[in-house]
Structure formats: structure tokens, C-alpha cells
Structure 1
Amino acid sequence: MKEYIDNFWHYRYLLKELVTKGIKLKYRRSYLGLVWTLLEPLLTTMVLTVVFGKILGKGDATYPVYILCGRLVFSCFSSTSKIAMRSIRANQAMIKKIYVPKYLYPLSAIIYNYILFLLSLIVLAALCIVLRVRMTWHIIEIFIPLTILLILCVAAGLILSTVCVFFRDLEYLWEVVIMLVMYCSAIFYYVNTLNSGITLALQFNPIYCIISNFRCILMEQGSIFTSVSYGFSNLFMMIYSLIFSIVALIIGMYVFKKHQDEFILHI
């Protein structure tokens, strides 16, 4: 373990450069640049609020905040997994020329997308102020679902980046999977409108669990250690999503380490 920690510390500056490069390339030749990070979730929330809140009449005064919480968390997982999945192949020229720990490529892609996600939370905070969503001291617990989300993103990134080297069709299959995850994450609908069987299944979706914890802290002004959302304990969902993410991370690290020496033969 000490060997891996020392290796990571030795290449920390390269990781920083890769993260910086990723952010710059994402908004290269873009007039809006980082501003789009703030505008995109806000515009999407406006569209969903009009469609589901106004036209279909399924929302209340805080419905935009409800949507934006789910939208931001899901978008973070979706974007990090997709970019991390392509990271090894995207950097194949460098991999073939010099030695660099290969995990830096998916990790840097995940980190810079996660940083952009954190910046987008500014929009969420502003929307809460505008709609007068009251904050309590439980807001300090927000780091818990945010940390679990990061662990899950790293786990998914390591697994997908490894598999995608050998099975490139995964890029197309993952689009279908990520769409299924989106509809099973209660981003724009209320869980209490569904039957009990579906709501029971939702709590085993780690993304939904993270979103539910996030909403609990922000909108319900409660603690995830004591609150219940739609009949389900937020503590259970927190523990489940954390265990799921850690197990997935261990699997991801093992799979990546086992196959990383074969990457150069397939990229």
C-alpha cells in the first residue's frame, strides 16, 4: 500500500496538469466557457419545470429545487463515467510513448468533471435563496452524499475505462444503461406517486440513494441519520450507497490493476 501511495504522490503534479488540461479542453473555442456549467443545469431545470410542473401540474413551489438536486447529481455521475470510459483510448499516444501510471487518465477525467459539478452547486444555492428554501445546520452533512458520489464515480470510471479498452461497443451500451439509471433515479417525478413495488426497487439504486440523501439535507431540513423519505430510512440509503460504492471501488481498482499492462496491446 505504501508503494502505491508514494507512486501517487510522486505523480501528483502530473495529475494536477491533466485536470487543468481537461477543463481547458472542455471549453476550448467556447464563448460561454465555465459560465455554461452554471447555465446548462439551470436551463434544463426550467424546461423540466415547465413540462412537468406547469403543463402536467405535478410540481409545487420548490419543485425546481427538487429537479435540480437530482439533475446535478445524476449529470455528475453520467459525465464522469462517459469521459473516464474513453480516457485510456483518448490518451493512447502518450501511453505508447512514455510511462505514466495509467490510472491517472480516468482519475483526472473524473476529478475535473467533479470540480465542474461542485461549481454548478452555486446555481442550486442561488435557486434555494430565490425560492426561499430554508437552510438548517444539517447542511453540514451535505459532504456525506457528495463524498459517496465521488467514490462511486471513481469506481465506475476505473471499471468502464478498463472494459472499454477490450470491448469498445461498451460506449453504445452504456448510453442505454445510463438512460435506465436516469429514469430509475426519480429526477423529475415524486416517488410517492409510484406503487410500493417500484419505490422499493428504487432504494437499491445507489444514485437514487445519493440523490435522496442530498434532497433530505437540502429540502427537508432534516438529518440523514434520523429522517425518513417516502417511507425509507435515509440512514439505510446512505449506508447502502456507501457500501456499494466502496465495494465497486475495490473491484474497479483490482480490475484496472490486473489488466493495465495489456492496454497497450489493444488501444
Structure 2
Amino acid sequence: MGDLKQYWFVIRELTGREIKRKYARSYLGILWSVLSPLLYMLVMTLVFSTMFKRSIQNFPLYYLAGYLFWNLYGQISNSVMTVLVDNRNLLLRVKVPKNVFVLSRCYTALVNFLYTLLAFFPLVFLSGVKPSITMLLFPIDIVLCVMFGLGVGYILSILYVFFADIKYLYTVFLTMLMYMSALFYPVEQVPAAMQMVINNNPVYCYMLFARDTMIYSTFPTKDLWIKAIFWAVAAYLLGYLVFRRRENEVMQNI
């Protein structure tokens, strides 16, 4: 929090640079943050809505809510993983805490996520979902997912400095994680052993939290609250501890 307050201007400038670089050659620019999840939702709805029509109420929103949180986690952890190596020149020349660069990547992913909500919220209400008090819990879900992704990102950023191949292994892991998060299928239709794995998958917890509060207007269960908070706090504290203990070794290997 000290780094965040003291270097907020630097974080904003780095975030602006990342967003401009990402959409530098695109005519639509950041509008793709809105269009991309909608296109994915359209394709997945055409492919799977008939198959799971009886099992999943309001399949397009079910998929979109899951995709947004899986993508939020993936963007944070993936982008934070390479941040120290990508900014090696700045780290050598500028006396700024390394954590500032990590937070800027996290903030960039969060900004992209907030743009996707420009598509999500209108679809929620156009689909006939009525405003509910449970929707007030949605920001909590976002914060917890960001904390979890940032915690994992801290660990990955240190590992990537010493073991660059972790980037390719993590890409495979993210694909596996997507299929283990019930992104486009109902959990009830898989074997009991797989249900147990999915229900204890942190990313699925944040997906389920969003679906309950935003689509089905139900309060998350006590068990879901415990899992969502535990994974977020545990991942963040562990990741930050690893980062702070090993960050001084980074400059010798970067």
C-alpha cells in the first residue's frame, strides 16, 4: 500500500504505456476489450447452448461471467510473470521499487476487465435479470480474484527470472485450468471426483460467486465465502512474501 500511494503516478503512466502498446496497431483499440468476450460468448453459445440448454439457465451469461473471471485471473498472472524481465532496463536505471512494475501490470489487467463490464452489465439486464441486492457483492468478488491472481503473479515473476521455460508450462496450465473451471458446462454432469476438484478450484470459486450474485440473484454459500477469501488472502500473502524475499536476487540474474 505504501508503494501504491507513493508511486501512484508511475503506476498510472506504466499502465497507460501498456494499454497503448497492446492496441498500438489496432483500429478499434481498447474497444476490443468489450468486443472480444462478446464474440467468444457468441461462438460458445452457438456451439454448446443446445447441448446444455436444459442443464444451464441463461447459458450466454453463464459462460460470459465465467470467461470474464477466468480471463481476469489469466491476464494478471500472465502479465505479472514477465514484468521484471520485460522492464530490466528501467529496473537498472531508475530507483523505483520492483513492486511498482508488478502493480502496474495488475492495474492494466483490471482496467481491461472493467472495460469488459461495459458489455456484461447491459447483457445481464437485457437478458431479463432483475436488479438484486446480491449484485452489491460483485465488487468483492473482483477484489478477491485480483488478490489471488496477483499472489500467483508474484511467485511466477520470481520463477520466470530464474527459469524462463515456466512461461510455456504456465500456458499449458492455463488451458488445463480453463477446462477444470466449468467454464461452459455444468459441474453436475461430471464424475464426483472431478466435481470435488472443480469445487476446490480457486478460479471456479470466483466464477461461481459472480454467477450467483449477478445472474441467479442468490447469496454465495458460507462454504463459497470461506474458499474465496482463503484462496485470495493465502495466495496474496504467500506470493508477496516470496517476492520480497527474493527480489534482491533478481538484479543479479536479470
Which TM-score band applies after superposition, normalised by the shorter structure? Answer: over 0.9
Counterparts in 2 of 1:218 and 1:7: CA distance versus 1, 3 Å: closer
Q: 1:153 aligns with which of 144, 149, 153?
A: 149
Which residue, out of 180, 192, 199, partners 1:196? 192
Q: Which has the higher contact order (CA 8 A, sep 6+)?
A: 2
Which letter maps to 2:60? P
- 2:126 counterpart (130, 133, 138): 130
Partner SS for 1:186: coil
How far is the alpha carbon of 1:18 from its aligned partner?
Answer: 1.1
Provide Cα deviations, 1:56-78, integer angstroms capped at 9, x if missing partner: x2236611000000011001111
Please report how far the alpha carbon of residue 240 of structure 1 lies from its aligned counterpart in structure 2 after TM superposition: 1.2
Show the counterpart of 1:246. 233
Say whether residues 1:26 and 2:22 are aligned partners: yes
Superposed CA deviations along residues 157-210 of structure 1, whole A, max 9, x for unmatched, are 111111111111000010111111111111100112122222122111111011
For the structure 1 residues 119 and 8, does the alpha-carbon distance in structure 2 shift closer, same or farther, using more than 3 Å as the test? closer
- Equivalent residue for 1:38, pick from 34, 39, 46: 34
- Count of residue pairs the alignment pairs up: 252
Greater shift, 155-164 or 7-16, is seen at 7-16
Counterpart mapping for 1:109-124 below 5 A: 109-124=105-120
Report the more deviating stretch, 8-17 or 207-216. 8-17
**Distance (whole Å) between structure 1 residues aligned to residue 4 and residue 193 of structure 2:** 45
CA change 1:219–1:6 in 2 (3 A) is closer
TM-score (norm 2): 0.94
CA distance in 2, matches of 1:201, 1:24: 39
1:13 shift after superposition: 1.4
Q: Which residue of 2 aligns with 1:237?
A: 224
Q: Counterpart of 2:253?
A: 266
- The structure 1 residue matched to 2:6, chosen from 1, 7, 10, is 10
- Write out aligned runs for 1:202-213 (5 A): 202-213=198-209
Alignment of 1:77 with 2:73, yes or no, is: yes
Alignment partner, residue 62 of structure 2: 66
Q: Does the 8 A contact of 1:61 with 1:131 survive in 2?
A: no
* 8 Å CA contact 2:147, 2:236 repeated in 1: yes
Deviating above 6 A after TM superposition, structure 1's stretches of 4 or more consecutive aligned residues are none
Contact kept in structure 2, 1:88 and 1:105, CA below 8 Å: yes
Report Cα offsets for 1:23-44 as digits up to 9, x if no partner: 2211112101111001000000
- Conservation of the 8 A alpha-carbon contact between 2:134 and 2:213: yes
Indicate the percent of aligned positions where both proteins have the same amino acid.
28
The answer to whether the aligner puts 1:98 opposite 2:85 as a matched pair is no
| Alignment-mate amino acid for residue 243 of structure 2 | F
Q: 1:7 to 1:148 in 2, by over 3 A?
A: closer
Letter aligned with residue 236 of structure 2: L
Name the counterpart of 1:176. 172
- One-letter amino acid of the counterpart of residue 32, structure 2: W
1-structure distance, mates of 2:14, 2:3: 16
The gaps in structure 1 that reach 5 residues or longer are: 225-233
Q: Which amino acid aligns with 1:195?
A: P
2-side partners of 1:106 and 1:217: how far apart? 30
Quick one: structure 1 residues 131 and 90, their matched pair in 2 at CA, closer, same or farther if it must change by over 3 Å?
same
